[in-house]
A = this chain, B = another copy of it.
Amino acid sequence: MHTLHGDIPTPVFAPVGTQATVKTLTPDELLDLDAPLILANTYHLYLRPGADVIARLGGLHAFMGWSGPILTDSGGFQVFSLESLRKVSDDGVVFRSHIDGSEHFFSPEKAVAIQEQLGADIIMALDECPDPLDYAYNKAALQRTHSWAERCLQAHNRADQALFGILQGGIFPDLRRESARFLTSLGFPGYALGGLSVGEPKDKTWEMVDATVPLLPVDRPRYLMGVGSPEDLFEGVERGIDIFDSVLPTRLARNGAVFTSRGRINLRKAEFAEDAAPIEEGCRCYTCRHFSRAYLRHLFKAGEILGLRLNTIHNLHFLLDLMRRIRSAIVNGEFAALKEAFLAQYAPIVDAKGQRTKELARRRGKAQSRHH
């Protein structure tokens, strides 16, 4: 993909910088990590510091000192995560700020206008994000999401931004296909699969991807929102996904959990107290080149911020490097071999489903301050 702020090789994983910062890192560190694209959250930035403030300060790139490509979501996901705090109509959605309880209104036109003020390279249409398991709600919401997508297209003025449509339809193949057919008829420069990776069973996630990707144009990027575990990147790429984003690597890092080629380990564990090895032998990230597991564990136990930074650098390097290897393997016709070799070593955590269920429960709770 080509943007005014640089080319984005695909498939690509985008680190999440919810509040105009990929948590704990500087833009220079993201450059060192060779991150091709980062994501920021419209909902959060609209509330604080305000999209108008960011616009007056030169837009999001200047504000956060990142000159590479940025994608902003529409705010829909966050607003619809504020379960008890929103009123939705065909016009748009009224919600209360998780910061101060103040009341706000997002319409499709306003979501686009805010994203034009922020000035990201890729922006997203406003969508309604229902509970993925509720057929009736998904069917009704889909009409609204489609109508909003049309209004977003009409409202969008900036030629330097690509406005993507977002497919909805829960875990229901018929609704998903309907969404793909309708949105592609509008002719977006890219298509996202929304409303997934929010707690539904993982086989359903891939069933929805399989149901829709064949209906999407081959020359437009497909974006699977909120997906970012190593094993899921392989599954998604294999099915034709071009863009991924997730808070997983950065959030895990701040909990002491780091990726290795054999699976995740948690540095809090006592077994690492005197472990002089890096997180992963041979890893080229700054953390692994300079620090032992014992030191990282010490930083975590002592509550030191540096530990959060170093774990974040490693986890993002792990995913970004994995995507570089995947892109190279695709070019060389070796994707299947890479996937097999990687997954033969890598043990996904067994409680993945439990965590997702917890995530769904949390979504149904109050504010969703840091999700994708």
Interface residues of A (CB under 8 A from B): 19-21, 23-28, 44, 48-49, 53, 56-58, 63-65, 273-274, 276, 286, 290-292, 294-295, 297-299, 301-302, 304-306, 308-310
**Residue pair A27, B290 in contact (C-beta under 8 Å):** yes
With both chains docked as a complex, state the minimum distance between the C-beta of A61 and any C-beta of chain B, in angstroms.
12
**Chain B nearest Cβ from A161, distance in angstroms:** 22
Contacts of A304 in B (CB 8 A): 19, 21, 23
Cβ of B53 and Cβ of A20 under 8 Å apart?
no
Contact B301–A49 (Cβ < 8 Å): yes
Give the 6 A-B CB pairs with smallest separation, nearest first. A19-B302, A49-B298, A65-B290, A21-B306, A24-B305, A21-B304
Q: With A21-B304, A299-B21 known to touch, is A274 a contact of B57 (CB < 8 Å)?
A: yes
Residues of chain B contacted by A24 (CB below 8 angstroms): 305-306, 309
Bound Cα distance from A305 to B23, whole angstroms: 7
Q: A273–B26 contact, CB under 8 A?
A: no
Cβ of A273: which chain B residues have Cβ within 8 Å of it? 49, 53
Per assembly, the copies of the chain total: 2
The smallest beta-carbon distance between A114 and chain B, in angstroms, is: 16
CA separation between A274 and B24, bound complex, in Å?
Answer: 23
Residues of B within 8 A of A290 (CB): 26-27, 65
Q: Once bound together, how far apart are the Cα atoms of A347 and B12, in whole Å?
A: 50
Chain B residues contacting A23 (CB-CB under 8 Å) are 304-306
Q: Which residues of B contact A298 (CB under 8 A)?
A: 19-20, 48-49, 63
Q: Give A305 to B308 CA distance when docked, in angstroms.
A: 9
Question: What is the CA–CA distance of A64 and B297 in the complex, to the nearest angstrom?
Answer: 12
Whole-angstrom CA separation of A44 from B323 in the bound complex: 41
19 contacts between A and B (CB under 8 A): A19-B299, A19-B302, A23-B306, A24-B305, A24-B306, A24-B309, A49-B294, A53-B294, A57-B274, A57-B276, A57-B292, A57-B294, A57-B295, A63-B292, A63-B298, A64-B295, A65-B290, A65-B291, A305-B305
CB distance from A295 to the nearest CB of B (A): 6
The residue on B at minimum CB distance from A47 is: B302
> Shortest distance in angstroms between A59's beta carbon and chain B's nearest beta carbon?
12
Contact of A306 among B25, B58, B294 (CB under 8 A): B25
Query: How far, in whole Å, are A274 and B49 apart by their CA atoms in the complex?
Result: 9
A26-B306, A309-B305 given; A63·B20 CB < 8 A: no
Nearest B residue (CB) for A312: B305
Known: A20-B295, A25-B306, A53-B294. A48 touches B301 (CB 8 A): yes
Nearest chain-B residue to A63 (Cβ)? B295
- Chain B hits for A301, CB < 8 A: 48-49
